[in-house]
Amino acid sequence: GQSLEQPSEVTAVEGAIVQINCTYQTSGFYGLSWYQQHDGGAPTFLSYNALDGLEETGRFSSFLSRSDSYGYLLLQELQMKDSASYFCAVRNTGGFKTIFGAGTRLFVKA
């Protein structure tokens, strides 16, 4: 089967750094993506890792270890507007099916 696990909630303080982990189990693997979704809004793409290592985009970074079936999203210099749900997603080999995790709700406190 295919599954992704990520924490349901994370709370952090404005200005801090937070890491959201994702472990996955799939029949094949093309890459790990991260999406952000504010309440009542649509998911928006943040980052994608196909190979092992760290990808950096501004305040956000994403890491992948294919041997450990593990990745994380790192958010630096947290702002109140970062309060949202964050989803990891994997696309399996040979198909176009993208499987999403249940999401991590991030609360940023002042």
What are the DSSP E strand ranges found in 30-83?
31-37, 44-49, 53-57, 60-65, 70-75
Number of residues interacting with other proteins: please give it, by CB under 8 A: 23
**30 interacts with other proteins by CB under 8 A:** yes
**91 interacts with other proteins by CB under 8 A:** yes
Q: Give the count of alpha carbons within 13 A of 33, CB side only.
A: 15
Could you identify the residue written with the tokens 């943040």? 46
Tell which residue, 5, 49, 45, has the closest CA to residue 25. 5
Q: Which of 15, 68, 77, 97 contacts other proteins by CB under 8 A?
A: 97
Q: Which of 41, 52, 57, 59 contacts other proteins by CB under 8 A?
A: 41
Q: Which of 11, 27, 93, 98 contacts other proteins by CB under 8 A?
A: 98
CA 88, CA 72: separation in Å to the nearest integer?
A: 9
Residues lying near other proteins in the complex (CB under 8 A): 4, 30-31, 33, 35, 41-45, 48, 50, 87, 89, 91, 96-103
